[in-house]
């Protein structure tokens, strides 16, 4: 009789201990917090929006307030990158976009753009998990020198031209942010040499490059439909990266 009681109490103790362990396991699972994905952008006017660029002194194009351009994008929620953040469940780390900026150090009318170019700003990206590079448009529009393909030992003179500057930028970003996914975005309607150069240099650095297609624009800048198309094309790439 006593032996049976002991067996019953022992079985009860084991049962309670098992349930308690399972409860603790569930508690541990509840304590696990998913890492929030942080996204940074290195861009030009296509990615600017007033109040959402770093540093705040960077000139912006959206929303249009200059009196001669027209575009129906009037809310930051209509920007391509805002849609990506929402759908991907990410947060904006830094949007270092600058309206009118070239990637290389030669701007419009052959001016020195070494204080505002992409390669001048690439050291201010925060600590992102994903970096979007969206440029080359102004290099194309400004007729910046194309230069030669060069992947090391860049000189100040080299960085005045698009190809060596673009390679210099990718080399820096891959080394500065080795754990980040870097995605390059290529605009529509650029000079063929600018588009082709981005593709080849991205291939060299094994960086994914997104060639945009069918982007609706107003005043040469994506409108609401264009922004939505950019978002969709980038999301399609994110799912495969």
Q: What is the pLDDT of residue 29?
A: 44
Q: Which residues of 10-22 are buried (b: 16+ CB within 10 A; e: fewer)?
A: eeeeeeeeeeeee
Q: What is the pLDDT of residue 20?
A: 44
SS3 8: helix
**CA 63 to CA 74: how far, in whole Å?**
5
Q: Would you write out the chain's pLDDT as a tens digit for each of its 241 residues?
A: 444 444 444 444 444 444 444 444 444 444 455 579 999 999 999 999 999 999 999 999 999 988 889 999 999 999 999 999 999 999 999 999 999 999 999 999 999 999 999 999 999 999 999 999 999 999 999 999 999 999 999 999 999 999 999 999 999 999 999 999 999 999 999 999 999 999 999 999 999 999 999 999 999 999 999 999 999 999 999 987 5
User: Prior bond to 65 cis, omega within 30?
Assistant: no
In 10 A of CB 196, how many CB atoms? 12
Q: What is the pLDDT of residue 66?
A: 85
Burial of 221 (0-12, 13-18, 19+ CB in 10 A): buried
Q: What is the pLDDT of residue 16?
A: 41
């Amino acid at each position: 009789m006593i032996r049976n009681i002991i067996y019953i109490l022992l079985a009860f103790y084991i049962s309670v201990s098992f349930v308690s362990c399972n409860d603790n396991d569930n508690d541990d699972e509840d304590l696990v917090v998913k890492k929030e994905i942080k996204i940074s952008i290195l861009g030009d006017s296509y990615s600017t929006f007033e109040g959402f660029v770093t540093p705040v002194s960077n000139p912006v194009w959206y929303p249009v307030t200059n009196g001669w351009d027209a575009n129906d994008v009037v809310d930051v929620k209509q920007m391509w990158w805002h849609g990506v953040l929402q759908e991907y469940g990410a947060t904006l780390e830094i949007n270092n976009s600058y309206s009118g900026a070239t990637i290389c150090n030669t701007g419009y009318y052959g001016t020195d753009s070494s204080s505002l170019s992409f390669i001048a700003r690439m050291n201010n990206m925060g600590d992102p998990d994903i970096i979007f590079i969206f440029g080359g448009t102004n290099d194309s529009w400004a007729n910046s020198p194309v230069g030669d393909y060069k992947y090391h030992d860049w000189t100040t003179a080299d960085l005045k031209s698009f190809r060596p500057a673009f390679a210099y930028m990718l080399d820096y970003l891959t080394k500065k942010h080795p754990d980040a996914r870097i995605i390059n975005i290529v605009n529509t309607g650029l000079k063929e040499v600018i588009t082709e150069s981005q593709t080849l240099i991205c291939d060299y650095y094994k960086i994914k490059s997104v060639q945009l297609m069918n982007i609706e624009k107003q005043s040469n800048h994506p409108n609401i439909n264009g922004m939505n198309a950019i978002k969709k094309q980038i999301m399609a790439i994110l799912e495969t990266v």
